[in-house]
Structure 1
């Protein structure tokens, strides 16, 4: 029975199902760029293959350019910056396509996660407001970051034709082997298309995972408020419970409500492994590539004598920084809200409660005190300290490149 249920969770989402999902903007954005199929279609598979070929074409061009320009640090580092960015998208695309069932299952588990406390939220407007706020935050954050990423197209793509109209230059990798004479128009289009596809897909996956972490943190926040409201003199005004109940009856009610909170906590925690399995390789890839991009972008912004290159790199630098911060901020919020559940349990009116209430509360506190830390690649904890560590690593690599350039 469990096997059949898991198979049902892993089946492809339909267009209608995606419209009912809280992750609708993220899922349909990935559908637009050929990554998340919402229908059984060979044309869509060809569309996905087209995006993969574009990324592979761009990576081949960049490797050839690096080979022919080896020794010219300015040219090599500039090409490496764009190639690492597109390589990040290509790798994440491969992870997604390799096991799309994992992402379909994750989307359905998110729906199940949000239904855990939906009845409570329906009865209590303040809790419903927390849930709605998390949805708005996830949507606005995804939209803002994806639009900012898209805005780079208007900086990088037309720049060679604006600054050097008399020269046949390409946006990213120059064909030193033929001086950009063969298939110039096709190469220009392929580089622009690959840059758009790979960056939108990789950032789309990152925003999807960040949105899920925001929703998870909101569920933990709602749970902490429910537990904190377990008062000996009745629930506070937020929950509008009567204060005139008999002691024994209220004790039973208080214990029953705690049991519901424990059950909700267990269901929320059972969701985390699904998120962790999906996020591990993607987050690790984003971390490694972002560190390299920041390092190379800093180098180009500092030492390049071409103003157009400096402008492009300086405008692009906030993107890898925001990607790192997006993961670390969202995962850190999950950790903090998980700790808040333990604090809420300690601060509720457990001292005057019944013995069975205290026993159940001890179980909840013991489990909630276990740190809920999301990982990248099963090796690297994702939190605010990790953000500072990664930025410091980027600066260290930048300093190394600077020393090499001065020799």
Structure 2
């Protein structure tokens, strides 16, 4: 039966994706704990500069707020599906003892109906929240990394504008009021701090890549299949209630893929902007060692910070479009087969 098969497939794929993600998480719990500590370390590393500059502090504050809103919004949207999927079998098929996802063909849902209904509801909600929780975790981390790259870029751009303490008192003077040698020494020291922050960010991105790669690949494969089946059921299904459930669920796999692609693309773009910022700072009249250190920073920052799924598939906006195209291609193929 088309409607039942589609619903079972969507439910099975969602739960399987959640189970696979949970297995990766349990196996690498120490890696996740280390990743959380490293994120806190990245923020603390540039916290001194952020606390002195309201613009930098605003970047960090906005990133935290953005990550919180995205996480809560996605989890609440997923939770809202309960009010569509769970009551429909009782409302649309009253008296038929229908289950939300998979029907028991061997006994026509006659045995342990209430228990089966509860188990399907709880397991579906639990696995979907696990799956969404990990997606939101990685998206939030990438948002915070993007914020650190933005802060670093601004620190590099304003190297020549830094306020430098004068000798012998607590007053402050700008760089153009200081002796040239002392000014350049101060700029070099601040550049070294920026380079150190950049190296910490690069090391963290490598760790993030190793931890996130299998999770992202699992989600990409699952989302393509689920989106294809949900769209097919919404279009060709004769059961209005099943079509409504699939249509309401359709934005979820697309949203999960978009979370990864949008956040990873932001990391890549802001990583490249560090090189531009380094070239745009006031380096022309600086010392030779400043220029040498700046060249090293520019060359290293020109290497793209590309996160991948399964160490094979780059995660960016182009990947999001290609996955949508793949899902629609499978949907079109199923549509042609259904018409025969």
Verify same fold: TM over 0.5.
yes
Question: Among 238, 241, 247, which residue is 1:305 paired with?
Answer: 238
Gaps of 5+ in 2: 164-171
- Pair 304,168 (structure 1): closer, same or farther in 2 beyond 3 Å: same
Does the CA-based 8 Å contact 1:235-1:241 persist in structure 2? no
Q: Deviations over 1:279-302 (max 9, x none)?
A: 011100000000101100110010
d(CA) in 2 for partners of 1:317 and 1:279?
24
Task: Give the aligned CA root-mean-square deviation in angstroms.
Answer: 1.2
- Contact 1:103/1:278, CA 8 A, preserved across alignment: yes
- Matched residues in 2 for 1:200 and 1:74: separation? 24
Q: Is the 8 A contact 2:135 2:256 kept in 1?
A: yes
Higher relative contact order (CA 8 A, sep 6+): 2
- The residue number in structure 1 matching 2:70 is 141
The equivalent of 1:10 in structure 2 is: none
1:196 match: 125
1:153 partnered with 2:73: no
Deviations 1:91-144 (A, max 9, x none): 111111122112111111111111110111111111011001100000010000
Matched, 1:314 2:247: yes
With normalisation by structure 1, the TM-score equals 0.80
Equivalent-residue separation in structure 2 for 1:228 and 1:139 (angstroms)? 29
**Any gaps of 5 or more consecutive residues in structure 1?**
1-71
Give the Cα separation in 1 of the matches to 2:191 and 2:211: 31
Q: Residues 239-388 of structure 1: matches in 2 within 5 Å?
A: 242=174, 243-388=176-321
Give the drift of 1:241. 5.9
The answer on whether the counterparts of 2:262 and 2:316 sit within 8 Å (CA) in structure 1 is yes
Which one of the candidate residues 91, 101, 104 is aligned to 2:20? Answer: 91
Q: Which residue of 2 aligns with 1:228?
A: 157
Contact preservation (8 Å) 1:73, 1:405: no
- Segments of 4+ moved more than 4 angstroms: none
TM-score by length of 2: 0.95
SS at match of 2:233: helix
Counterpart of 2:106 in structure 1 is 177
CA distance in 1, matches of 2:173, 2:238: 70
Q: Is the 8 A contact 1:331 1:382 kept in 2?
A: yes
Alignment partners' CA distance in 2, 1:340 and 1:379: 24
- Cα contact 2:4–2:103 (8 A) shared by 1: no
Distance across 1 between alignment mates of 2:52 and 2:218? 42
Q: Summarize deviations over 1:64-103 as a string: whole Å, max 9, x none.
A: xxxxxxxx33322221011111111111111111221121
User: Residues of 1 paired with 2:274 and 2:30: CA distance?
Assistant: 32
Q: Per-residue deviation at 1:277?
A: 1.4
